[in-house]
Amino acid sequence: MSDWSPQYVEPIYVKPTYAKPPTPAYLVAPLAPAAYAAPRSKRRIDLYLRLIISVGFGVLVWLLLTNTTPSPWSASQSEFVEIPVVEPAGPAGAMPIEAAEAFAATYTAHLDSHGSYVESGQEVARAFGAELVWSDYDTPDPHSPCRHDPDATFEALAWYCSGEPYLLHLNRTAATMPQVLYFPDFMDTVRHELAHLVIHQRCGTSEPVEGTVELEAVTSSYAVLYLGADRDALGDATSAYAEYEMTTQTDETATWIHAGVCW
């Protein structure tokens, strides 16, 4: 590859716990005018029913939230977690690749003092000599060798660029930031980005299987098979994007790449 290499941008994952889906058109469209308005007494009953249903729903939601740890609505989740960057990121601080993979595969994430998984993500990344960094996808760093796609129609959550091989970028301006940091599947995102790095290292190119199989799905397969990512969680989080769909073929390709066979 030349001076810069393509980057792998992870679109915002579908996360019903904190991503609000767009309101369907039929809910946005104005209702038919009062020609069909119910009689006054009927309307009042409707109102009571609605109140009861609302209260019931509120209790249900409350019960669900109080049974969730950590609560998805805790105040801390609106806080960005500072990520102290240790300079320079790079191979000098990395474990040998096999040891780093074993470390990631068996690593148990924990909540840090902010109640987030940032510290755990950073610990796993550092085994590979990598650092998590906050970036703004919509305002590219002019000093970065990596290009952004100005025509991207999705919103970026995180990205990896082999032009800056030891940085895992988190998009500060993503709609689901910083809430993402407080959910355990943040670790799956980190492991997926690390898999891009490892594949680059093992194959010497960032696109070893271009045109033969979906590289994003191979990357997820690699993260699951060798870096401890949760297959179900990663699959669910990326289910809106066909190119991330793991298959037996992408698993097999990941296995070959792990063995150093790249084509």
Neighbour tally for 31: CB within 10 Å: 8
Q: Considering only residues 166 through 185, tell me which ones interact with Zn ion, judged by CB under 5 A.
A: none
Q: Which stretch binds Zn ion (CB under 5 A): 51-59, 61-69, 170-178, 219-227?
A: 219-227
Q: Identify residue 3 by its one-letter amino acid code.
A: D
Q: Considering only residues 242 through 261, tell me which ones interact with Zn ion, judged by CB under 5 A.
A: none
Instruction: Name residue 158's beta-bridge partners.
Output: 10, 170
The C-alpha atoms of residue 210 and residue 15 are separated, in whole angstroms, by 28
Q: Which is nearer to Zn ion, 164 or 216 (CB)?
A: 216
Q: If binding means CB under 5 A, how many residues of this protein chain bind Zn ion?
A: 4
Instruction: Out of 8, 128, 186, 226, name the contact with Zn ion by CB under 5 A.
Output: 8
**134-153 as b/e, with b when 16 or more CB fall inside 10 Å?**
bbebeeeeeebebebeeeee
Q: Looking at beta carbons, which residue is closest to Zn ion?
A: 8
H or E element that contains 102: helix 97-106
Q: How far is the CB of 224 from Zn ion (least distance, A)?
A: 13
Which residue has 């999705």 as its token pair? 154
Q: How far is the CB of 157 from Zn ion (least distance, A)?
A: 10
Residue 128 binding Zn ion, by CB under 5 A: no
- Which stretches of the chain bind Zn ion, using CB under 5 A? 8, 10, 216, 219
